Amino acid sequence: MDTTSTIYTNRCIPHQESLPKIFDHPNKLTSNNTISSDSSASSDGKWAFELLRSCVTAMSENDSGKIHHLFWMLNELSSPYGDFEEKLAYYFFQALFFKATNSGRRCYEALTSATVKSYSFAATRRLILEFQDVSPWTTFGHVASNGAMLEVLEGFPKLHIVDISDTLCTQWPTFLEALATRNDETPRMRLTAVVAGSAGSFVKDITPRMEKFARLMAVPFEFEVITSVNDIKIRDDELIAVNFVGRLGNFSNEETKSLVNLMKSVKPKVIVVVEEKGDFLTSGNDSMSKIFEECLRFYTSYFEMLDESFPPTSESKLMLEKECFRSIIRVLSCHDHEMNERRAKWSEILSKSGFSIVSHSKEVIGDVKALLKRYTDRWSLRVDENSGVSLVWKEEPVVLASVWEPNCGNDTSS
C-alpha cells in the first residue's frame, strides 16, 4: 500500500508563496466573515471545523470567490502528517476540492486502483491484526454476529454461511473455534465468501490458512470464494445464514433490494448485519450540508479513535487514515444528492422484504461487553431493541450490529 502515498501527498491547489499576516493563526481569519474571533469553535481551537463548514456554505451558495479564498487557506493550513485537526482539515479539504471540480469519481478510482496494484497479503494481514489489537471497531461486529448465528443455528448438523462482507474472512476463526467446543456433535460448515476487487486476492491467499485451522479445530469445513451472488450454490440439507458486514450501506436502492430479494430466495434462517453508523442519506435542498455534517461527525470520531489508539508516528495509523480518505471522497465527492434523496435505509428494505429485527440475547451482549473490557474505557455499548446494539466511542455511536429473521409467513426452518 506504500505506493499510494504519492497520491495523498500531492496538493490539489498550487502552493501560495506566503500567507498575509492575517493568516498567521487560524483563529485570526476574519476575511469575508469566514470565521469570527468570538465563535465558540474558534475559541476552542477548532479552526478546521469552522473553515470546512464555511467552505460547504460557500459551495452551496456557488460563491466562487469565497470558495477559492477558503480553499487557499485550507491548502496552507492542513497536512496529512500534522496534528488531529490538520489531518482532518487536509482530508476533508481534498474531498471538497474534488467535489467542486467534479473530479471525485476519477480520484476515487485512481486511489482504488493504486490500492489494488500495491496489494500485499502480508502487509494487509498485519494491518488488520494490529487494528484489532488496539480497537474493537471490527471485532465488535464479529462477536455480535457470530454469537447471534451460533444461537440460531445450534443443533443443526449442516450449516451454510453466505458471507457478503468486508471482513476479509477475519471473522471466521473464532466462529470455527466456537463450533469445535459445542456440546453437541460438531456440525459441518460450508462458507461461501462473496468478494470483489482487491478483497478477492486476499481471501484467495487466506484460503489455505482457513482450511488448515478448520482441520486443527476438527470442524468439517468447505470453503468457496465467488465474485457474484448469482453463483451461490444451495443444498437442501443445509441451514443457511447470511452475514452482511460493511456492505449494505454502500449500495443503491435497487442494488440493495435485488440483493435482499436474492438472499430471501435462498431461505436463510437468519441474516446478521453490521454497518457503520454514518447516516449519509438525506433529502431537501440543503442535502449537501447535511451529508457534510454527518460525514464530519462520523469521521471525526474515527480519526480521534485512531489518534488515541496508535502511537503518533505509527505507519499503520497513517495507512488507516488514508483508507478512510477514500471513504470520505466516496461520500462527499462522488455521490450526487439526487441519488441520496432516492435512497432508503437498508433496514427499511429488509423490513419490507419480509424480515423482522430480533434482539441479541443476554449471552451475546455479555460476550460483547467482555470484548470491550480489553480496550480503553472510552468504548461502550448501547442496546436498542428496535435497531440492535451499537458500539459507542465517547458517546458517539459508530458501528451498529443487528439480527434479522424471516417473518412467520416466510419461516425457513425445516
Q: Write down the pTM of the prediction.
A: 0.84
The per-residue pLDDT for 192 is: 95
Query: 254 by DSSP, 3-state: which?
Result: helix
From CA 386, how far away is CA 314, in angstroms rounded?
39
The pLDDT of residue 22 is 30
CA distance 211 to 153: 21
CA–CA gap between residue 239 and residue 157 (Å, rounded): 9
Distance between CA atoms of residues 201 and 168, nearest Å? 10
pLDDT of residue 42: 39
Identify the helix (H) or strand (E) that includes residue 69.
helix 64-77
For CA atoms 177, 182, 187, 193, give the dihedral sign.
negative
CA distance 284 to 358: 32
C-alpha cell at 355: 424480515
Cβ neighbour number for residue 30 with a 10 Å cutoff: 12
pLDDT of residue 47: 92
The SS3 of residue 380 is strand
Helix (H), strand (E) counts: the chain: 16, 9
Reduce the DSSP state of residue 201 to 3 states and report it.
Answer: helix
Distance CA 55, CA 75 (A): 12
Distance CA 201, CA 178 (A): 27
Q: Cell match 451461490: residue?
A: 232
Distances from the Cα of 404 to the Cα of 246, 281, 348, 398, angstroms = 16, 22, 12, 20
| Residue 347 to residue 199: CA distance in whole angstroms | 25
State the cell numbers at 329: 471522497
* The Cα angle at residue 101 between residues 67 and 78, in degrees rounded to 5: 55
Buried b (16+ CB within 10 A) or exposed e, 61-92: eeeeebbebbbbbbbbbbebeeeebbbbbbbb
By the 8 A CB rule, do 387 and 347 touch? yes
In angstroms, the CA 294 to CA 300 distance is: 10
pLDDT attached to residue 410: 57
Which is nearest to 138 in space by CA: 223, 268, 146, 271? 146
Q: Among candidates 75, 91, 96, which has minimal Cα distance to 23? A: 75
Task: Give, in degrees to the nearest 5, the angle at Cα 274 between 365 and 215.
Answer: 80
Per the listing, cell 445464514 goes with: 241
So what's the pLDDT on residue 411? 52
Extract long-range pairs of 283-287: CB within 8 Å, 24+ residues apart: 283/340, 283/341, 284/341, 286/60, 287/337, 287/340, 287/341
- Residue 230's identity, in one-letter code, is N
Please tell me the predicted confidence (pLDDT) of residue 197: 64
pLDDT mean values, one per 10 residues, the chain (414 residues): 33 36 38 40 67 94 94 94 92 95 91 81 87 96 96 93 89 94 88 80 83 95 91 94 89 85 94 89 64 92 94 92 91 65 73 94 96 96 91 95 85 48
Of 367, 406, 141, 171, the C-alpha closest to 271 is 406
Q: Which of 110, 51, 42 is nearest to 296 (CA)?
A: 51
